[in-house]
Structure 1
Amino acid sequence: MTPREVAALLAYVVQLDPRLALDDQAAAAERLTQWCDLLSDVPATAHGWDAARVARDYIARNPYRIQPSDVSRPWHTHKADAMSRHVGTFEPTAHPEVDPDDQYGNAYVAALRAERHAIAAGHQAPTTHRALTAGPAAAVVERRLAALGEYMPRTVAQALAEYRPVRAERERLARENAPDPLTVACTWCKAAEDEPCRGRAINPRNQQTRYRPMGKSHPCRVEDATAAQLTRHTTQEAAA
């Protein structure tokens, strides 16, 4: 902070806590010098930081008279936290003249240092990566995936349902937690898992046999899928 900013902060502090008021001009000048010395490397405002707010919070929560260290210590803690959350990469689009692959070039090192200094000074927010597999972000991801579907928005999937009836039927069964026959192989037509049941047709001219996909599964396959789902549920309840 500049001496002018420190003087403004001191005036604000005295306004909040009149006990700090000084009638002696020499004592007031000495206090201003002390605060300027200890707050010379502390910004008045920065990204996520406001010295006046820190001073106000201290006065509101502590019965003791505020000292300049009560502002400088929180700033250094704030700066250390920002640097620890920064992933250490700069945004290449902000430096089009820098080759990000030339990690030993002077331009790259200078840009990287400038970015870290900007974050340390509070002029720039740290670049962080949020975990997607745990914590609050995981819930956000789950809600987003539930709204969009696995590969496409549900509105698009509904529009395409008539063109891919097998997939649409499997999605319906999954939503209803109903047995999916395609999760097991068919013992009647020998269709493999994830493949639809096959119907046999014989060409009357040459007696050749061919197979065509069926829209519905054979009853024995539905029964096997129901039994398999019941077994899984029983196993899960026993494990719980």
Structure 2
Amino acid sequence: MNPREVAALLAYVVRLDPRMNVEDQAAAEERLAQWCDLLSDVPAQAHGWDAAQTARDYIARNPYRIQPSDISRPWHAHKAAALARHTDPTPAVDPDNVAAWRAELIGTRQAVATGAALPSTHRELTSGGPAPEVRDRLAAIGRRIPPEAAAALAQYRPRRAERERLAAEDRPDPYAVPCRYCRARIDKPCRNHRGVPRTAPHPSRLDDATARHHAQQEQSA
């Protein structure tokens, strides 16, 4: 997080827990500097991660005043879990170009580590087109425009493009289940505490989607 994001997070924390308020300007600046230092490698939001939500959960469940480590530790645990699930997908570059091959692998891992991309959990190579359950998911999502047009519009409809990608890769779709945290309905985005749509679903929704996906896989096995 940059200093502006950290300051916004601290303001939110103070609103939830007035004990965190400090009247002295020097003390406030010192605390902001400490939080900026400890949260410099923690994103405000990422796939399956929301720093404000983590802070809210801590304040709701603990009687102790929150510290920046109470946010950084869960993030590093989240990052480690994502990297543990990640299995390097085959780079799209020429395999004879060792430097480009290695750079793409490192770039993909870095994107997963920072939360900019979801981990790739492919277990094996497949061929012969999508499995029946994947076709069913794609049919449920629906597509009324040609693939070329969909690709061109992907940047303007990122949530739909992401759902189509997850379905094609047979990975859990968080929007296929309701969110038990913010009560968002199926196909609808999660919302933050202000009622504003989030770019990423709540972690509990992703957990529920993963459990549902695994159950469907077991049934079709």
TM-score tier (shorter): 0.5 to 0.7
Who is 1:89 aligned against?
89
Would you identify which runs of 4 or more consecutive aligned residues in structure 1 move more than 3 Å? Answer: 135-139, 141-145
Contact 2:91 2:101 in 1 (8 A): no
Unaligned runs of 5+ in 1: 93-97, 146-240
Under a length normalisation based on structure 1, what TM-score does the superposition of the two structures give? Answer: 0.52
1:42 aligns with 2:42: yes
Question: In the TM superposition, what whole-angstrom CA distance separates every residue of 1:178-206 from its partner, at most 9, and x where no partner exists?
Answer: xxxxxxxxxxxxxxxxxxxxxxxxxxxxx
Question: In the TM superposition, what whole-angstrom CA distance separates every residue of 1:136-163 from its partner, at most 9, and x where no partner exists?
Answer: 7675246447xxxxxxxxxxxxxxxxxx
Using CA pairs below 8 Å that are at least 6 residues apart, which structure has the higher relative contact order?
Answer: 2
Matches within 5 A, 1:18-37: 18-37=18-37
How many angstroms apart in 2 are the aligned matches of 1:74 and 1:25? 29
Matches within 5 A, 1:126-165: 126-129=119-122, 139-141=215-217, 143-144=219-220
Alignment CA distance shift 1:59-1:141 (3 Å): closer
- Aligned partner (choices 104, 114, 117) of residue 110 of structure 2: 117
Matches within 5 A, 1:137-216: 139-141=215-217, 143-144=219-220
Question: In the TM superposition, what whole-angstrom CA distance separates every residue of 1:122-145 from its partner, at most 9, and x where no partner exists?
Answer: 0000001369xxx97675246447
Offset at residue 87 of structure 1 (A): 0.7
1:106 aligns with 2:99: yes
Contact 2:16 2:59 in 1 (8 A): yes
Letter of the 1:116 counterpart: R
Contact 1:82 1:120 in 2 (8 A): yes
Number of residue-to-residue matches in the alignment: 135
Offset at residue 37 of structure 1 (A): 0.3
Letter of the 1:120 counterpart: A
Contact 1:79 1:121 in 2 (8 A): yes
How many angstroms apart in 2 are the aligned matches of 1:15 and 1:138? 39
Under a length normalisation based on structure 2, what TM-score does the superposition of the two structures give? Answer: 0.57
Larger Rg over CA atoms = 1
Offset at residue 89 of structure 1 (A): 2.0
How many angstroms apart in 2 are the aligned matches of 1:46 and 1:136? 22
Who is 2:62 aligned against?
62
Contact 1:14 1:20 in 2 (8 A): yes
How many angstroms apart in 1 are the aligned matches of 2:114 and 2:108? 10
How many angstroms apart in 2 are the aligned matches of 1:10 and 1:125? 27
Who is 2:10 aligned against?
10
How many angstroms apart in 2 are the aligned matches of 1:30 and 1:82? 33
Offset at residue 88 of structure 1 (A): 1.7
Percent identity at matched positions? 64
How many angstroms apart in 2 are the aligned matches of 1:21 and 1:32? 12
How many angstroms apart in 1 are the aligned matches of 2:83 and 2:218? 29
- Specify which structure has the higher proportion of strand: 1
Unaligned runs of 5+ in 2: 125-210
How many angstroms apart in 1 are the aligned matches of 2:46 and 2:71? 14
